[in-house]
Amino acid sequence: MEPPGFFSLLARLFSTGGDIGPALAPKLEKSGTENGMRPRVRTREASSRRRLVEIRRNTIPFYEERGWRLDGDVLKGHYRTKKRSVAGAIENPFTKGSKYYIVNPPKQLLQGPHGACFTKMRDNEYSVHFSTRPKDVNTGIRTIEHLILEVLS
């Protein structure tokens, strides 16, 4: 006999005042419990053949993953978001005095809430000012990408 579906079981509960009958009640077996009965529980045996999968942390720096390349003491690449990619550069990227630049940024970025953080240098090149200096190049790139995505969404 196939067990009843959820809705038929629910209808039976309401029609019988909560008595589901012996066919659907859990099977009981004798045990050392106080009343001598306990529900029978089926357990699946755990597989003795478990494979451990080693997951290694990515050791490639974020800026390299994003395609940024070192040219002398300038890191060149693109700030990439799902909406747009914008060219940029970072002078002295691995020192505390690193300077971030963005080329031809979206107008929304310059006119948005963080517009004051961008200073025009020449033609379409702007320097980026941070209120809190990024701890490293990767954080600086992510921050600028986040700002671009924020104004384009």
Q: Per the domain annotation, does 147 fall within a domain?
A: yes
Residue type, 80: R
Does 18 have pLDDT greater than 50?
yes
Average pLDDT over residues 91-99: 90
pLDDT attached to residue 15: 65
Q: State CA 144 to chain mean position distance.
A: 18
Report if residue 50 sits inside a domain. no
71 inside domain: yes
Q: Is residue 124 part of a domain?
A: yes
**What is the phi-psi region of residue 104: left when phi exceeds 0, alpha when psi lies from -120 to 50, beta otherwise?**
left
Mean pLDDT, rounded, for 4-33:
56
pLDDT digits (tens, 9 = 90+) for 80-93: 999 899 999 999 99
Residue 10 lies in a domain: no
pLDDT at 28 over 50: no
Q: Is residue 6 part of a domain?
A: no
pTM above 0.75, yes or no: no
Strand 118-122's sheet: what is its strand order? 69-71, 74-80, 85-91, 99-103, 125-128, 118-122
pLDDT of residue 103: 95
Amino acid 83: pLDDT: 87
Portion of the chain with pLDDT greater than 90, in percent:
42
pLDDT in tens, 43-82: 555 556 778 888 888 888 889 999 999 999 999 999 999 9
Q: Is 7 within the bounds of a domain?
A: no
